[in-house]
Each structure stands twice: as structure tokens, then as C-alpha cells.
Structure 1
Amino acid sequence: MIWRAVAICILILSATIQVQAQSRAELALKVERLEREMIALENRLRGGAVARPAAGAQGSLDDRALLADLAAKIGTVERQMRTMTGRMEEIEHQQRKLDEAMGLLRKELQLQQQEAADYRANQEVARQDSASSQPVDTAPAATPAVEVPTEPEIALPEGEPSGQYQYAFGFIQKNDLDSGFTAMDMFLKAHPDDALAGNAKFWLGRIHLLKGRLPQAAQQLLALIEEHPNHAKRADALLDLSDVLIGLGSKPDACNALAEFRRSADDASDRLKARAERTAKEAGCTN
């Protein structure tokens, strides 16, 4: 499908550059061969003018026509090389943008891992401080220590995956997106093959989008679209992905995502279809 190009764009661009470079080299060899033929023909014409002055005019005219044809072919190949050079520069520019986006994604993931580690460390310190603040002397005259309230630790409850998913989704329902993201990420890592894994990917992508983390949002939404083609949230994910791509400055890819939405969302709600029309206008889609 067309939208799949977004998911593997880096590999496609790399392969395209290699193909374009190979084609450019072939054109250069073709120009070189035509130029050699043209030089040989010019030498032949000059030699024929001196050595065979009595030869028929028809042969000379044929040679000159061939020389003109070779010159036209060389001009055509050179124009093709210029066009290909411009295309390669455009592709290399797009690849640089994608490399920058992937670099940002790696940094963001590292930051999230560090934040999670810091959070767990802070929770452990808080528990230790709370334990050490309990009074040792239980005599009636002793003043009980005041325990400082701490943030509740986010941990998936024991039990079935469905209950753990509802625990994570409860934070999102309360609009506690940070806690919801942490719990939903824990659920997905614990149950990557569960029936609710697609839902988890959707909500992780949606929270990334709401937080302005566009490369990470694209990664999660594409995972849902690619790995769960029949998921109930696939139509919503395609619309979210089109918003992400517009935010990343890739309106043509956003139009491809919207085209895929139209092809596969016959049963989509009127609300989603109206949103798709508004997004298509914003992206300037013509398809």
C-alpha cells in the first residue's frame, strides 16, 4: 500500500540513491561512448575530405547526418543526467531530514529511559525516607512522625492482561497522560502479543502526538497500522498519522495516509470522515 512507504522511507531512499547513482554512471558511459563515435566520425569526415575528394556527395551527406544524430543523442543524454542529478540532490535532502528525525527519536527514547530510571530511583529513596521517619520509641509521650505523602508508584496490578490494560487506560480517562503513558508502555512491554497490544500502541502514539513528540508518534501509529491491519483503531491511527506528517513537513505523505484512510474506512464514522476532509484541505491533497 502507498502509506507503507512512510514506514520504510529510509531504506527506500537509500536504495533509490544507489539506483540513481548506478543509472547516472550508465548515462555517463553512454555519453562517453557517443562522444568517441562522434570524434571518430569527425576524423573520418576530415580524412575523407582530403584523401577522397572525388568520392560521391551522398556518402558525405550520410556521414554528416549521422554526426548530427550523434550530437542530438549526446544532448539528450546530458539533459537526462542533469535531471537525474537534480533528483538525487532532492532525495539526499529528504534522507538528511529523515536522519535528523531518527536522531531526535533516539535521543527522546534515551531521555525517556533515563526519566524512568530516575523516577524509580526517586520512589525507592522516598520509601526509604518514609521507613526511616517512623518513630522507634513507642512510649505514649512520643510525638508520632508525620509521614510526607509521596506520589503513588505506577505498577501493573497482578492478574489478567485485560485488567492491567484497564489499569493503564484509567489514567488516560482521567487525563493523567504522563501516568497513562508510563502504565501503557509497561503493559505493551509485558504483553507485546496480547489482543490489546494494538490499543496500547494507538494510545502511546496519541499521547506522543498530544505532547508534540512527532517522530515517536509516527513510530507507534505506524506500528499499529502495519502490524494490526484489521484493528478497530486503524482508521483513527491513519488520521493521527496524517496530522503527524503535516507537522513534520511531509504533506505528500500525509495525503497518502488520507488516501489509505478513504480506501479502507468505508465503515468509518461521519466524525472521522469530516476530520479527514479538513485534514486533506490543510495538506492541499488533490487525490
Structure 2
Amino acid sequence: MPSVPPSAAPRAVRVVIVTVAALAAVALSGPLAPARAQDTRALVADMQVRLNQLEEMVRGLTGQLEQAEHRTRQLEQRVDLLERELDMRLGGQAGPGTAPDRAPGAATSPAPLPAPAPGSPQPLAPDSGVLGYLSEPAPEAAPSSTPTPAPITDAAARAVLPDAPPEEQYQHAFSLLRQGDYRRAEQAFGAFIAVNPQHRLAGNAQYWLGETHYARGDYENAAVAFAKGYKAYPDGSKTPDNLFKLGMSMSALGKPREACAAFQKLRADFPDVAGTLQRQVADQMARNGC
């Protein structure tokens, strides 16, 4: 909602007041019967009282709008800080090949893979394999122990989100993720995307949805979520992270060629990503024999 300059609305009201007063002065300057003049003065006085009340109301609404905008800015800053903190916990500080903050009993990443033997199939080109993952049938090997999440209806989505602006709904889902409540965080992020598909935070929510699966060792649904984040939000701030975690998920599923495709695509499209992510990509490419 565009902000209203604090003085714009009251200034317009004052212009109306001045105009009414001028018209009243003109009306009273002519020859009027005493009773009519008295009625006109009473009418002008009543109008001025009402306009003063309106001006006061506009000032109050302007103040409320400014307060709401200030709270929104504070909330956005807080969300940014929390995202950076959680990103460090889930990925930035994790050693190569690990799934940080994984629920107890979740599967671990595979051991380092040897380099391909001469004559063996070479890694896929960056634009093949894994980047078409969503349009291909689900892998037949080792089906996931966690069922594929069912589509979320609008009513179900609103049942798991607070009745609040999208920014507060996003923060609610994010707080569940920080607490390690991955199941409820999955539901909340999925609900946020369902009811706010065009919101500027939808791409971030899609990435964190993938993290709720990855942290529990559900690498197949994680791969689907990260691939969808890459395809649906190619210009989002989480696009490099989606590619990286897509590669990590495919590696954990025992698919080094697809993992390499994601890592190579990340390097090709985002050569200027942060040094930490560059080092992690290099480590993972070495582990997967890219």
C-alpha cells in the first residue's frame, strides 16, 4: 500500500475549509435579511466543525498508516536476520555432505565417491538430467519412507497460518523451522505458498520448504522442492541455494551424475556467489567425481 505523505491529506482538508470560508464571506457580504444571515453563519460554523473533525480523523489515519509501515519494515529486517542465522545453521556451517539439524534417526549422506573410471559415463552437462527432474517419473530405487505431500487446499492452508499479513505468516513458518519443528514448518511454508503464490517471499518459502524435507533425510521430496524453487523463481535470491541443495539431495539419493549437473549449473549461472558457497560446491563436486 503506497504511503501517504503526513501532511498531504490534512492540507487538502484545509483547502476545502478555506474555500468554504471564502464562499461564506461572499454570501454574507451581500444584502441579506438578518434571519437568513444568521442561518448562513450557523451553517458555516457547523461545516467548519465537521471539517475540523474530518481533518483530525485524517491525521489519525495517517499516523496509523505510518506506524503500520514502520512495523512492516521492522518485521522485514527481523526476518532477514533470522534467515541469515538459520541459513548458517542448516547449510553455511555444515561440513560437506552432511544434513545439519536432521531429525534423530534420519539417513546420513553417502561416503565420498571415487573418480569415474576410464570409459565410464561422464557427468551430465549442466542443462540436462536433474534440471528436468520435476517432469520425469519418480526414481524407482529406494522409495522414500515419507509420503509425497498432498496438495494444499486454500481452506487447509489458512487453518495452519495465523490470520495476519503475509510477512507475519512467513515469520510464523520460519519460527517453526528454527525450533526444529520440521513437520509443522513444512505445512506452514506449503500453506504460505498456496495462499501467497505471487508474494515476494514465496521463493524464499519454497526454498525453506525444501529444507524441512532435507533436514529430516527425506531427500526425494527435498529434491522436488528445490528443483521447483529453481524453476518457479529463477530470479529469486535463493536460486543458487536451490541448485546447491538440489545437488546435495541428488547426491544423498545416490545420483552423483545428477548432483554434478546441479553443481555445474550453479557454477555456470552464478560465478559470483559468496565464497562460502563456492567452497561447498567445490567440495561436493570433488566428492561426487564431477
TM-score by length of 1: 0.50
Instruction: Specify which structure has the bigger relative contact order, considering alpha-carbon pairs within 8 angstroms and separated by 6 or more residues.
Output: 2
More helix per residue: 1
